[in-house]
Structure 1
Amino acid sequence: MSSSFKRPSGFIAAMAAAMAFTAAGAFADSAGVTFSQGDNFTEKDGAALYANVCAACHLDKGQGAVGAGHYPALAKNKNLEAGGYPVTLVLHGQNGMPPVGQMMSDDQVAAVVNYVRTHFGNDYKDAVTAQDVKDVR
């Protein structure tokens, strides 16, 4: 290695963060963001699942986006009124949405669907259960 080679200033910190494994089988970066490891997501509650799985496309406030693709707004979305609809989308995907529910337990799918149905201006109170998810799966 030549003496003129220098590592980027954040390289060592990023490598250390990637190696900071938690007991849950996930790892956290220096900002405290948890990344799932393996074939399944490790987050348990709807807010964490939304933040780490859904918000990348549907954005932090469920406002959706248009650009390289069309990511529907989840905020004030009438299509979420029937709980089976978002369960089916999470489990099986549709168009550009991947079937992310394949990497979640029935409890996790119910948690994230219920989170979306009760946040972002949505007020659907009939909660989806893990058994509902199992029936659709």
Structure 2
Amino acid sequence: MKRHISLTVFAAALALSGAASAQDFVQSGTSERLPQTDGEAIYNAICSGCHMPDGAGAIGAGAYPALAGNANLEAADYPIYLIINGQKAMPPLGSYLDDAQIASVVNYIRHNLGNNFEGETDAAYVAQSR
């Protein structure tokens, strides 16, 4: 009986809390777009919850890869594609971030979090990737 009550309480709490996502964050404001334009601010607002503030990644309800020291980020095309289209547990964010915001967060993760890859990307390059 205790187990049944505990599971019921857990299920109710889970249902009430809902799954946190970038969509929930963005749509809780007055715009369907994320207001931040700085790459670090965007990362902290929607990426760090899964990939962690230091980019170390996490394993829990899903597997969230480390961005810190991630060789896949050497080419800007890879994170641009994932941010726009999503993959596995990562939701597609292309409709919530404009091209300049995507370029900004891609530059942030490629030049911070233990990464020091060469080159910058810009909004025009992101637009070609859509």
Q: Per the alignment, do residues 134 and 49 of structure 1 end up closer, same or farther by CA in structure 2, a change over 3 Å counting? A: same
The alignment status of 1:58 with 2:51, answered yes or no, reads yes
Equivalent residue in structure 1 for 2:90, among 80, 87, 97:
97
Residue 101 of structure 1 deviates from its aligned partner by: 2.6
What CA distance in whole angstroms lies between the structure 2 residues aligned with 1:52 and 1:43?
8
Q: Any stretches of 5+ residues in structure 2 without a counterpart?
A: 1-27
Aligned residues with identical type, % of pairs? 44
The alignment status of 1:81 with 2:49, answered yes or no, reads no
- In angstroms, what is the RMSD of aligned CA positions? 1.2
TM-score, with structure 1 as normaliser: 0.72
Q: Write the letter of the residue equivalent to 1:67.
A: G
Q: Per the alignment, do residues 41 and 78 of structure 1 end up closer, same or farther by CA in structure 2, a change over 3 Å counting? A: same
Runs of 4+ in 1 over 2 A off after TM superposition: 35-38
Q: Which position in structure 2 is the counterpart of 1:123?
A: 116
Residue 99 of structure 1 deviates from its aligned partner by: 0.7
Does 1 or 2 have the higher relative contact order (CA < 8 Å, sep 6+)? 2
The alignment status of 1:112 with 2:80, answered yes or no, reads no
What CA distance in whole angstroms lies between the structure 1 residues aligned with 2:74 and 2:128?
18
What CA distance in whole angstroms lies between the structure 2 residues aligned with 1:67 and 1:107?
31
Does the Cα contact within 8 Å between 1:36 and 1:42 map onto a contact in 2? no
Q: Which position in structure 2 is the counterpart of 1:6?
A: none
Greater Cα radius of gyration, structure 1 or 2 = 1
Number of residue equivalences: 103
Q: Which position in structure 1 is the counterpart of 2:8?
A: none
Does the Cα contact within 8 Å between 1:106 and 1:133 map onto a contact in 2? yes
What CA distance in whole angstroms lies between the structure 2 residues aligned with 1:66 and 1:57?
9
TM-score, with structure 2 as normaliser: 0.76
Q: Write the letter of the residue equivalent to 1:103.
A: Y
Does the Cα contact within 8 Å between 1:87 and 1:136 map onto a contact in 2? yes
Secondary structure, counterpart of 2:78 in structure 1: helix
Q: Per the alignment, do residues 70 and 44 of structure 1 end up closer, same or farther by CA in structure 2, a change over 3 Å counting? A: same
What CA distance in whole angstroms lies between the structure 1 residues aligned with 2:29 and 2:66?
25
Q: After superposition, where does 1:21-40 map in structure 2 within 5 Å?
A: 36-40=29-33
